[in-house]
Structure 1
Amino acid sequence: MTPELPDAGNLLETALNSLRTDLLPYLPDHARYTGLMVANALSIALRDLRAEPARAEMEAAMTRLIGRNDATTLCRAIQAGRFDAPDHDSALRLNLLLITKARLSINNPKALG
């Protein structure tokens, strides 16, 4: 049986860990900032690569609210008062919370605690 090859996520994670543990501590001061920027870029790429479940959650939440995945249409529906009724308002709040958590899990996971 052929061993499974690493996927892009595993490769990025290995590169990031190697950079942080094996290279950054030994970089001279003038190169440390560049090394940190590269580590940050790798972290962002890794999160983005693994963000499909969060994107699916955002799409599902918008689709539940307005029937399609379109933030502009959702904003217009909110502005037009489509969710002002109490039962619609609670559904809106719940789904906006799901969308916000999903976005944070991609863009700023530390904000989630």
Structure 2
Amino acid sequence: MATRSHTAELPGDVVDDLLAAPRRRRLLGLLYRRDEPTALATLAAHIAAAEAGVPVEDVRPEDRRAVWWALHEEDLPKLLATDVVAYDSTRDALSLSRAAAQFEGRLAGLAADDR
């Protein structure tokens, strides 16, 4: 993965807060592993699968939608406010932004844990 440059570091307690929620950790780990903009629907499907302990193809549509809404309502506002992710509204896609560079080591561990 290419190293991302950034200008301002987030305080440690903010990083800890961002990584405190299991769903946010999983989302950030997926984005780190993908290293490209990824549709929120795709991310929601993978998160729902991990939460249910089933393969992605076995996730029920209502579970995918529930995770998609939860990401929009609960997780994205916090991640966007801290500039950890970039959101492309035309594609409904996310990618890591420059602010995530300061905790890439922790994200690498999250990506490895979520395989």
TM range (shorter): 0.3 to 0.5
- The structure in which a higher percent of residues are helix is 1
- The structure in which a higher percent of residues are strand is 2
- Say which structure, 1 or 2, has more relative contact order (CA 8 Å, 6+ apart): 2
Please, what TM-score do these two structures have when normalized by structure 1? 0.33
Q: Bigger radius of gyration, 1 or 2?
A: 1
